[in-house]
Amino acid sequence: DAGVIQSPRHEVTEMGQEVTLRCKPISGHNSLFWYRQTMMRGLELLIYFNNNVPIDDSGMPEDRFSAKMPNASFSTLKIQPSEPRDSAVYFCASSRSGDGTGELFFGEGSRLTVL
Amino acid sequence: GNSVTQMEGPVTLSEEAFLTINCTYTATGYPSLFWYVQYPGEGLQLLLKATKADDKGSNKGFEATYRKETTSFHLEKGSVQVSDSAVYFCALLRAAGNKLTFGGGTRVLVKP
């Protein structure tokens, strides 16, 4: 089975540019999570969706960040405009909610560098 | 609210040494407890878990026991290998919840 697929794996952009990160969750999983990882702040949950509906976006840093999940097989995280402090590795993870296991399956991450 | 505290790293060990990473938690009710591992350049992956008090999770030579009386879930391995070098995250999932609460992660470096 294919795992969680993220793209791009690496992105280098200049301050002020729009960045879009993409995620394809594992088929059959109905919960999707976006995390950000930095050396300073560790692993932070940005937002999570259940059945394509945003449930908790309290971790989204500010209005420059937005996330969508138009269908069960695709989600995007957008940063507009990007700033150097947004440089981080962004992970997408999916799970099958309600199965009691609590297991998250992570993608390999998108490493973002904002110059 | 829920929280997870784990020892700060980095932890540097020689091959075949004994590894312990401490993890304590604060939660209401009876959460499930997890250890995730992140190898260099990869996402996190589940290492082991325990769903109730006194349960022992084990995988790849690692073990952790759910201790309700001390609210702890310490990770142990009797003889580490260089390939165990990674960042280890302790996490909890509250009963009927869907969102994991992660600790800050502990970087482990095993030298040959």
Whether residues A93 and B44 touch (CB distance < 8 A) is answered with yes
CB contact under 8 A, B99 and A50: no
Q: How many CB pairs under 8 A join A and B?
A: 49
Nearest to B49 among A4, A43, A102 (CB): A102
Partners of residue B89 in chain A, C-beta under 8 Å: 43
Give the model's confidence band at A2: pLDDT under 50 very low, under 70 low, under 90 confident, else very high.
Answer: confident
Average pLDDT, chain B: 93
Distance from CA of A90 to the nearest CA of B (A): 10
Please write the tens of the pLDDT for every residue from B44-68.
Answer: 999 999 999 999 999 999 999 999 9
Q: What is the DSSP letter of A4?
A: -
Q: Which residue of A has its CA nearest to B42?
A: A108
When CB atoms are compared, the residue of B41, B51, B98 closest to A31 is B98
B46 and A104 within 8 Å at the Cβ level: the answer is yes
Q: In the predicted model, is pLDDT for residue A100 greater than 70? A: no
Q: How many angstroms away from the CA of A102 is the closest CA of chain B? A: 7
What are the pLDDT digits (tens) for B78-87? Answer: 999 999 999 9
B11-15, B39-43, B58-62: which has the minimum mean pLDDT? B39-43
List chain A residues with CB under 8 Å of B29. Answer: none
Render pLDDT for A31-83 as a digit per residue (tens, 0 to 9). 999 999 998 888 999 999 999 999 999 999 889 999 999 999 999 999 999 99
Distance CA A42, CA B35 (A): 16
C-alpha separations of B27 from A69, A79, A106, B5, B33 in Å: 30, 33, 24, 12, 11
Is pLDDT at A115 greater than 70 in this prediction?
Answer: yes
DSSP string, A17-34: --EEEEEEPPTT--EEEE
Answer whether B44 sits within 8 Å of A45, measured CB to CB.
no
For chain A, where are the E strands, in sequence order?
A: 5-7, 10-13, 19-24, 31-38, 42-50, 53-56, 65-71, 74-79, 88-95, 105-106, 110-114
The pLDDT value given to residue B96: 67
Chain A residues in contact with B99 (beta carbon < 8 A): 33, 45, 48, 56
pLDDT value at residue A1: 63
